[in-house]
Amino acid sequence: MPALTPTSVEIYDTTLRDGSQLEGISLTVEDKLRIAEQLDQLGVHFIEGGWPGANPKDDEFFQRAKSELQLKRSEFVAFGSTRRAKGKVDQDQTLANLIGADTNIVCIVGKCWDYHVTEALQTSLEEGIAMVSDSVEYLVNHGKRVFFDAEHFFDGYKNNPEFSLRVLEAASIAGAERLILCDTNGGSLPQDVSNAVASVAGHLDTGIGVHLHNDTGCGVANALAGVMAGAIQVQGTINGYGERTGNCDLVSIIANLSLKMGIETIPSQNLDLLTPVSHHIAELVNISLNPQQPYTGSSAFAHKAGLHVSAISKRPDAYEHVSPESIGNGTRFLVSEMAGRSTLELKAKEIGIDLDGKILGDVVEVLKKLEYEGYHFEVADASLELLMRGASGWSQDFFNLKKFSVDMNHVGSGSRAWNEISVDVDTRAVVDLEVNGKQLVGVGDGNGPVNAIDTALRSVLIDTYPELEQIFLVDYKVRVLDTEKGTGAVTRVLLDSSNGEETWTTIGVSENIIEASWQALVDSIVYGLLRARAEQN
C-alpha cells in the first residue's frame, strides 16, 4: 500500500559539506560558522557540519561550534561512512571520529548498489550489508541518533532491488532513525523517485528521506515527487550548491512545499527569511546569486513588459504566482524602451518620488533616447533612480566635479613574448572637486584607470563622508556595443557596488571607456551616500 503524503517534512541542510564541493567554493571555518548561524535563523531542522577527521578545517569547525554557536532551532549532524570492508567497528577511525564529534545525530553513508559493493569495495554483497548493519548498531549503542544515507540507491534499486532493500532493512533493524535514499549520480527522473520511495515507504516503517542531485535539472522536482510518495525528510543545499550541477535547492523546495503544497517545513513565520538568507549565504560563499533564481533571485518578480506592469499595478496577483513578500522578496518594475507611463509611475512610487504627467512623459522620451545610445537601465536600477530623482528637481550635493585626469606609464613592449618577464604599468588619477564650497584635489594610484580614479575620489571625500568606508565595488563589467567600429566603438560599463547589506548597479556609456567608467563610478558613490543618508535620517 503506497504511503501517504506527509503533513510535515524535515529540512536537512548539507551546504557545509555537499554544497562546498561546488567548483569555486572554498569555505573557511569562519564562513562555515556564519552560514550555520543563517541556517539556524531560517529554521532548518538539521545542519550537516562536515566530516570530522577528514581534514583540519572540519575538526576545527566542530570544536568551535561547541563553544561559539548557540543554535536555537537546528541540530548539528556529523557526517561519515560505515566501517571498512572486513574491518571491526571498534577499531574504525571514521566511526571513532563520529563519536568524538559530540553531536547527538550522525549521518553515515553506505553502499546500496550491488555494482559498487562488488567493484568499488571489491567485497561480497553479504559483507556490504554487514558493514551497514554493524556501523549503525555500533553508533546507536554509543547513544547516537543515526541517519543512514543509502548511496546510489536509485541506481541500485533499478539494477538489483532485492539487494538495495536488504541494505535498508539491515540499517532499520540496527536502529537507524531515517533511511535516506540518495540519487548520487543525479540521473533519476521524478517518476523514478516516486516509484522507488513509495515502494520503500510501503515496505518499511522507518522514516524515509531523499538526497538528490540536479544532473538532469530535476533536483527540485525529484524532491517534491519523493515527498508526495511518502518521504518525510529532504536533504539539499541553499541555492542548490554542490558538485557538478549541484544538489537539489532547498530554497525552492521549502517554498514549494510550504506555499504550494501546504506541507510544514521551516516555521511559517520564517518563510520571509528565505530571500535574505539565500542572498547572505551567496555572499559568504562568494558566488553572485543567479538573478533568475526561483523565488529569491532579483528577477524572480521583475516585470518588464508594459502590459504586465499595467495589469499588476491594478491586481498584484495577476502576474505573480505567490506574493513576493511572503518569501522576503519584492516586486520590481524594469524600465527600458519597452516601458510605458504606468511602469515609470510605479517605479517612481517605489522610489518615493512624485512625477507629474508632463515630467513623466519627458522621462519616457529621455529613457528611450538613452537606451538607443546604449544605456540599459533595467540592469542598472541605481542609475535609473538617480535619473528619475533628477527629473523631479533633485540634484546631488555631495560633491561637484571640476575636472579629472588619468596618466598611465607603460614600461616594456607589452608583446607577451615568452621571454619577457614582466611589464611595469603605473596609473595615477587626479580629481579636482568642490565639496561643501571648498576646492579639493585628490590623487590616487591604482592597478588601472578605474581603480586609480576610485582611490583619488575616496582620498578627497572620506573625511567628509566616512560612510564611504562601508561602500565598495564588487564587480566591473565592460561591453563593446558596436564592434564593427573597432577601437572607436561605444562602450557600456556596469558597476556593482555594495554596502554589505544591499547591492546596486550603475551604468556609464561612452566612446571613451574611462569616461563611461567615471559615469558609473560617480553614480555608484552618489547612490551609496544617498542610501547612507536615508538610513541616518
User: Residue 338: how many CA atoms within 13 Å on its side-chain side?
Assistant: 12
- Specify the pLDDT at position 419: 54
Q: For residues 47 and 166, state if they share a domain.
A: yes
> Kindly report the CA angle at 331 between 329 and 337, in degrees rounded to 5?
140
Successive 10-residue mean pLDDT values, the chain, 537 residues: 79 95 89 93 95 90 89 93 93 94 95 90 92 96 96 94 95 97 94 95 94 96 96 97 95 96 94 90 83 84 59 64 83 58 72 77 80 76 86 87 85 57 74 91 88 91 92 85 70 87 87 90 92 81
Claim to verify: residue 143 and residue 243 sit in the same structural domain: yes
Residues 364, 407 within the same domain: no
Q: Which residues face 106 on adjacent strands?
A: 78, 146
- In a domain? residue 512: no
pLDDT on residue 368: 77
CB atoms within 10 A of CB 458: 17
Which residue, 444, 464, 484, sits at the end of a domain?
Answer: 464
Kindly state the greatest CA–CA separation across the chain: 85
What pLDDT shows up at residue 482? 67
Quote the domain boundaries for residue 214.
10-266
Does residue 509 lie in a domain region?
Answer: no
Q: Considering the entire predicted model, what is its pTM? A: 0.70
Q: Are residues 67 and 171 in the same domain?
A: yes
Residues 66 and 123 in one domain: yes
Identify the pLDDT of residue 8. 95
pLDDT at residue 486 in the model: 66
- Give the pLDDT score at 379: 72
For residue 13, give every residue at least 6 positions away whose Cβ sits within 8 Å of its Cβ, in sequence order, or none.
Answer: 39, 44, 46, 47, 48, 74, 235, 236, 237, 238, 250
Residues 313 and 237 in one domain: no
Same domain, 52 and 151: yes
* 385 found inside a domain: no
Domain end call among 359, 374, 389:
374
Q: How many Cα neighbours within 13 Å face the side chain of 312?
A: 25
**In-domain check, residue 503:** no
pLDDT of res. 447: 84
Secondary structure of residue 521 in the 3-state scheme:
helix
Determine the residue type at 512: N
Pairing of the two strands 438-446 and 424-435 = antiparallel
Same domain? For 430 and 327 the reply is no
Q: What is the pLDDT of residue 250?
A: 97
Q: What is the DSSP letter of 352?
A: T
Name the nearest CA neighbour of 389 among 493, 531, 537: 531
User: Mind giving me the DSSP string for 415-480?
Assistant: ---TT----EEEEEEEEEEEETTEEEEEEEEESSHHHHHHHHHHHHHTTT-GGGGG-EEEEEEEEE
Whether 514 is covered by a domain: the verdict is no
Residues 311 and 435 reside in one and the same domain: no
What pLDDT, on a 0 to 100 scale, did the predictor assign at position 341? Answer: 65
Per-residue pLDDT at 1: 42
Angle at 532 between CA 324 and CA 332, to 5 degrees: 25
Both 327 and 192 in one domain: the answer is no
How many structural domains is the chain composed of? Answer: 3
**Whole-number pLDDT of residue 311:** 59
- Non-local CB neighbours of 513 within 8 Å, separated by 6+ positions: 478, 491, 493
Domain boundary among 247, 266, 285: 266
| SS3 label, residue 140 | helix
Q: Is residue 105 part of a domain?
A: yes
**pLDDT at residue 160, as a whole number:** 94
Same domain, 370 and 403: no
If asked whether residues 233 and 355 sit together in one domain, one would say no
**Among 469, 508, 11, residue whose Cα is nearest residue 210:** 11
Domain assignment present for 275: no
Which CATH number covers residue 78? 3.20.20.70
* Number of helical (H) and strand (E) elements in the chain, helices listed first: 17, 16
Q: Does residue 179 lie within any of the structural domains?
A: yes
